[in-house]
Each structure stands twice: as C-alpha cells, then as structure tokens.
Amino acid sequence: MEQRELGSLRVSQVGIGCNNFGARLDQDATTAVVHAALDAGVNFFDTADIYGDLKSEVQLGVALGSRRSEAIIASKFGMLHDKSGVCATPEYLRDACDQSLRRLGTDVIDLYQLHFPDDATPIAETIGAMQELVAQGKVREIGCSNFSAAQLREAAIAAGDGPRFVSVQSQFSLLDRSPENDGVLAACDELSMSFLPFYPLANGLLTGKVRPGEPIPEGTRLALMPDDRKAHWLGDTLRARVDALIDYADDQEVSMLTFAFSWLLAHREVASVIAGASNAEQVRANAHAVSNLSVAQLQRLSELTATA
C-alpha cells in the first residue's frame, strides 16, 4: 500500500472509517478489521469521539494494542454527545481531547480534527487552543471537516505563524463531486492542504453490488437506511449514473471499487480515501482496489458522473 503526505504524517492511500466500531461492530469484529487493515498496509484510522456512542475510540484503542506504533490515528471533536449541536470553545476542546486520549489508550492523537464549524466560536480561538495541544505533545497535526472554501481561508489566516489545518475532510465520490464544484479542492491547492474524502462508495452504490434493474441486496447499508435518505441515494438520477458506471466497468473489465477509489486518488489533493469496513474481507478488497487508471478512463468516469 503506497503512502502519501498528510502534513508531517505518512498515511496509506486507503484509510479505515471507524464509525462502525461500537455500533455495528463489537470488540472482536473491530479487532479483526483493524488487524486485517494493518496486515494489508493500511495505517490510517479515522474515528470521532461520538462514533459508536463513544465506543469507537475505545474499541480502536483496544484493537491496536501493542500495534499502536503501526497506526496513524485521526479523531474528531466538536459534535456534542447528545447531538444537539456543535461546540469548539477552547475549554470544550481541551476536555474533549483529554477524554479521547483516555478512550484511545494513547498519549498522542496523530490528526485532531474539528468535526463541523462552530459559528458561535471565533475560529481563531479554536485554532489557538488546538495549537496549544500540539505544543503540549497531545496532538501531532490539526485538521477540520465539513468546512467551506471560505472557512478554510479564514482558518489559515487565524493560524498565523503557528500550526495550521493540514487537511479537510468532506464527502467526495463519483456520485458527489461537490468539492470540485464549490472550490474546496482549489482552496486545498492554494493553502497546501490535503483532502480526505469520506463516503467514497456513496453509501454502497459504488461497490458494484447494486446492479442495473436489480433490487438492493438485503442487509446492506442502503437497504437498512431510513426512507428519507433512501429517497436521495436510490433516486432515479443517481441510479442512472450508477448503471452507466457499471456498464463502463464491465466494458473495461475493471471493478467498481477500483474505479471509485482510483478516480479519487487521481486528484493530487487527496491524501487518503476513508472507507468503512465491516469485516476483514472488505478491508482486503478496499486495500487492493487502487490502480493507476488511464487518462482516457479518468476522463470517461468524469463525463459519466458530470452534473448539469
């Protein structure tokens, strides 16, 4: 597994999203996923304090155990545990960091990220406190998630000469190309930041398991999601694009997984593609999906998923 730069860190091109840990996966299943990832050369694990009802960090820490030195841990703070809003005050984040360190069973978080912007707290105050965490050795690098291009520029100015956000994490896939269109990728270039896509498989639509004209496989994330979300992900527009992608994948004899991951990694701003996994087999499939696509293939994928 090749690695890319993320600030001062080196992360695998494919990472593990840990939102299943503590929710759909118990400790044994989490450990199986984590060890399969490390064995496949995947070193980047992205979690958050609220994932798995505060259990994701705990289970990740236990799973890593004596293999902690092989991993790059990214975690997030800011979403209140009762899901009532966002808080990024210095007092809140200092306490949140200490709690995450305890749950993870580690003395340092490699990448600490603000989960969502907090409109009530000046970004300069938040970044100042995050810089203190770096100075104290509790955090190696700082980043953010779900920030707009304007917010990224504001944060860069607020950081002054101290540590600044090295990454932004947002939804990005062949079926959601918002970062290309809203200026976030351009801002990453401008500010020398890395981009971390989540939902790279569009909630399972890009796994290749959803075939044209066939029902959604039982037990999948798509099948289990609430009806209001299904209306978006299983609407006619996205299904038509998925059908076109599957036809092209079949024609090229390339898996949908390879197209989904490799198209994202062809963007120079992308450091690692964050994908969830429920078992070791999925981990290995994701890890082996990366390939160097031809210019013609990349162009055709972009054409097939272009929005008006």
12 touches 42 (CB < 8 A): yes
Name which of 41, 6, 3, 14 is nearest 290 in CA terms: 14
Catalytically annotated residue among 51, 92, 112, 199: 51
Confidence at residue 230, expressed as pLDDT on a 0 to 100 scale: 65
Give Cα separations from 101 to 73, 83, 127, 192, 204 (angstroms).
11, 21, 19, 28, 32
Please give the DSSP secondary-structure letter assigned to residue 246.
H
Name which of 173, 163, 148 is nearest 259 in CA terms: 173
210 touches 216 (CB < 8 A): yes
Q: Mind listing the domains of the chain with CATH numbers? A: 3-205+256-290 (3.20.20.100)
Return the structure tokens found at 247. 């036809």
Name which of 104, 107, 55 is nearest 75 in CA terms: 104
Please give the DSSP secondary-structure letter assigned to residue 107.
S
Between CA 204 and CA 51 the distance in angstroms is 19
Confidence at residue 223, expressed as pLDDT on a 0 to 100 scale: 63
Return the structure tokens found at 134. 């770096």
51 is catalytic: yes
Confidence at residue 226, expressed as pLDDT on a 0 to 100 scale: 73
One-letter amino acid at 283 equals V
Between CA 281 and CA 277 the distance in angstroms is 9
pTM of the model: 0.94
289 touches 281 (CB < 8 A): no
DSSP SS3 for 198 = strand
Give Cα separations from 24 to 53, 58, 105, 115, 279 (angstroms).
11, 14, 22, 21, 11
Between CA 28 and CA 228 the distance in angstroms is 32
One-letter amino acid at 225 equals M
Return the structure tokens found at 33. 């996923």
Confidence at residue 287, expressed as pLDDT on a 0 to 100 scale: 95
Between CA 256 and CA 55 the distance in angstroms is 32
Q: Would strands 3-6 and 9-12 be described as parallel, antiparallel, or unpaired? A: antiparallel
211 phi and psi, to 5 degrees? -100, 150
| 40 phi-psi bin (left φ>0, alpha ψ -120 to 50, beta other) | alpha
Between CA 119 and CA 87 the distance in angstroms is 9
In order along its 308 residues, the chain shows pLDDT tens digits of 999 999 999 999 999 999 999 999 999 999 999 999 999 999 999 999 999 999 999 999 999 999 999 999 999 999 999 989 999 999 999 999 999 999 999 999 999 999 999 999 999 999 999 999 999 999 999 999 999 999 999 999 999 999 999 999 999 999 999 999 999 999 999 999 999 999 999 988 898 887 766 677 666 666 666 777 766 777 788 888 999 999 999 999 999 999 999 999 999 999 999 999 999 999 999 999 999 999 999 999 999 999 75
Confidence at residue 238, expressed as pLDDT on a 0 to 100 scale: 87
